[in-house]
Structure 1
Amino acid sequence: MPVFLLTNDDGYFSEGIRSLREELKSLGRVITVAPDRNLSGVGHSLTFSMPLRIRRIDEDFWTVIGGTPADCVHLGYYVMLEGKKPDMVCSGINEGPNLGEDITYSGTVSGAMEGRILGIPSVAFSAFGGESKNFSEIAKVAKRVVIEVLEKGIPEDTYLNVNIPDLPQDQIKGFLITKQGRRAYKEKVLKLLDPGKKPLYW
C-alpha cells in the first residue's frame, strides 16, 4: 500500500487539499501536513527564525502553526514518518493555476520541489477555471496522474507541476507535458494611507 505525504499552500482547511486527500486515501495511506493559514506566494521558504508547533486535525492529518509548505514537507518526513520516505509527495490542489513565473512564487509548487530535494517523487496540483471550482472532480483527475507516476515513475531530479482545468473528467482527453512558459503580469503597487496618514503599500 503506497504512502503519500500531502501538503499545500492554501491552508489545511482548503477544499482543494481535502478533496485530494479523499481521493488519495482510496490508493493508500495519506499523511497530511499543511499550513495553518493561506500562504499563497510564499515561495520556497523554510522557517529558521522561530519555532514551529504542530496541531492534530484528524487521523494522519496535522497543521503546522506558522509553517510554510516546505516546512510541512520536512516535518511530515522527519517527524510524522520518522525519516521513512513516502512513495510520493503531493502538493495542492491549489485554488488557481501555477503557470510560467508563478512557480517561483508558488508555495504549492515549492511543496513538491522540497519533496524532490529530499529524494521523493513529487507532484504539485493546481486548478484553473471559474471562481467556484469542482474540487472533487479535479481531484479525480489528479488521482489519474498519481497512478501514472506510481506505475511509471518520473526521472530523478524532476518533479511535476500539473495544472488541471475545471471540467468534467470525461472532457479531459489526456495530458500534455510541456516546458515552463513566461507569464506577463500587469500588477500595480497601491500606495495608501493608514488612519495616521502614514503610507502603506498593497
Structure 2
Amino acid sequence: MGKRILITNDDGIDGDGIVLLEKVARMFTDDVWVVAPDEERSGAGHSMSINHPIRIRQRDERHWAVRGTPTDCALLGIHELIPGKRPDIILSGINRGPNLGEDVTYSGTCSAAMEGAVLGIPAIALSQIIRYKSTIHWPTAARYAPEVLGPLLDMEWAPGQFVNVNFPNCPPEDVSRIRVTTLGQRPEGAFRPVGRVDERHVPYWWIKINFPEGGNEPGNDLQAALDNEVSVTPLRLDMTDRLAHERMQTLF
C-alpha cells in the first residue's frame, strides 16, 4: 500500500496541476486522498476560515471539494475527512505559477504544506513556473516530479520542516538539473494595487502582479529558475533571526 498521501492545492480541485500531481502520487502508493478548494484560492496565504462555516462537497470516496482555504483543506483532510490513520505526507500543488522567494508568504500552495509542518506531517509544495500569457510546461513537472518526490518521500524529516519545489519554465529536455537551493528575495514592487472606478463611480482596486528582475544570487531559488533548474528548497517554521536575537540582547 505504501505511504498515505493527502493532496491539496490553491488552484482548485479541478486544476490541471492537482490532476497531474495525483497521477504522480499514484506512482508511489494507492493510498491517495484529495481535499482541495472548490475554486481558486491563490494568494490565500496561511489563512483559515474562522468567521464563517466551511462547506464541503464529496466528489467520490477519496475526493472532496471544500469552500475554504488551502489551510482549511489540510485541517479537514487530517482531522475529519480521511478515515483511520493520519496522512504520512502532504503534497500541495502543482501550482500554476511560481512560488519563489517571498511568494511562500502569500502562497496558499506553500501554506497548506506549512500547515502540515505545524501538525508534524512532512509536506511538500510543488509549483510549475510560467510566464503569463504563454504556454505552461506541464510535461516538465510530469517528468521531474517523480524524481524529486522519490527521495523526499524516503527522507528523514525534522520537526517543523517542509519543502518548496519549483519546476522551471522550459520544456523537459531543457532542464539542466535538480538543485537544492536557498530562498531568495526579489526587489520590492512585485504586487501593486491598481485603481479602477465602477459604473456607480465607486473606486475599487485589483492587485497587479509584476515580478521585478533581481534578487537572484548563486544558490538561491530565483537563480535556479533563471538557470532552468528544478529548485528544491528546504524550509522550516522557525523564522527567528538568530543574528538579530543575539544583537538585541544588549538592548533589553
What's the TM-score once normalised by structure 2's chain length?
0.74
* Native 8 Å contact 1:46 1:70 kept in 2: yes
Aligned to 1:33, what secondary structure does the other structure show? Answer: strand
Partner Cα separation in structure 1 for residue 111 and residue 186 of structure 2? 18
What is the Cα deviation at residue 112 of structure 1?
0.4
What is the Cα deviation at residue 84 of structure 1?
2.2
- Larger displacement relative to structure 2 (182-191 or 14-23): 182-191
Larger radius of gyration: 2
Partner Cα separation in structure 2 for residue 199 and residue 8 of structure 1? 32
What is the Cα deviation at residue 194 of structure 1?
1.3
Q: Which residue of 2 aligns with 1:108?
A: 109
Give runs of ≥4 in structure 1 deviating > 3 Å.
166-174
Q: Which residue of 2 aligns with 1:6?
A: 7
The equivalent position to 1:149 in structure 2, one of 147, 152, 156, is 152
Partner Cα separation in structure 2 for residue 139 and residue 59 of structure 1? 25
- Larger displacement relative to structure 2 (184-193 or 32-41): 184-193
Q: Which residue of 2 aligns with 1:193?
A: 197
What is the Cα deviation at residue 190 of structure 1?
1.9
* Native 8 Å contact 1:5 1:32 kept in 2: yes
Partner Cα separation in structure 1 for residue 140 and residue 183 of structure 2? 25
**Equivalent residues in 2 for 1:29-178, closer than 5 Å:** 29-65=31-67, 67-82=68-83, 84-130=85-131, 131-178=134-181
Aligned to 1:27, what secondary structure does the other structure show? Answer: coil
* Native 8 Å contact 1:121 1:153 kept in 2: no
Partner Cα separation in structure 1 for residue 140 and residue 192 of structure 2? 34
Partner Cα separation in structure 1 for residue 170 and residue 185 of structure 2? 24
* Native 8 Å contact 1:11 1:36 kept in 2: yes
Per-residue CA deviation, residues 111-140 of structure 1 (Å, 9 max, x unaligned), is 100011111110000111343223254134
Letter of the 2:186 partner, please give it: R
Per-residue CA deviation, residues 33-80 of structure 1 (Å, 9 max, x unaligned), is 000111111100111111111112234111102x10010001111112
Give the structure, 1 or 2, with the largest relative contact order (CA under 8 Å, sep 6 or more): 1
Partner Cα separation in structure 2 for residue 173 and residue 110 of structure 1? 28
Q: CA RMSD in A?
A: 1.8
What is the Cα deviation at residue 142 of structure 1?
1.7
Task: State the percentage of identical aligned residues.
Answer: 40
Letter of the 1:63 partner, please give it: A
Equivalenced residues, count: 201
Unaligned ranges ≥5, structure 2: 207-252
Cα 1:15–1:82 change in 2 (3 A) is same
What's the TM-score once normalised by structure 1's chain length?
0.91
Partner Cα separation in structure 1 for residue 104 and residue 35 of structure 2? 21
What is the Cα deviation at residue 154 of structure 1?
2.9
Aligned to 1:162, what secondary structure does the other structure show? Answer: strand
Unaligned ranges ≥5, structure 1: none
Letter of the 2:112 partner, please give it: G
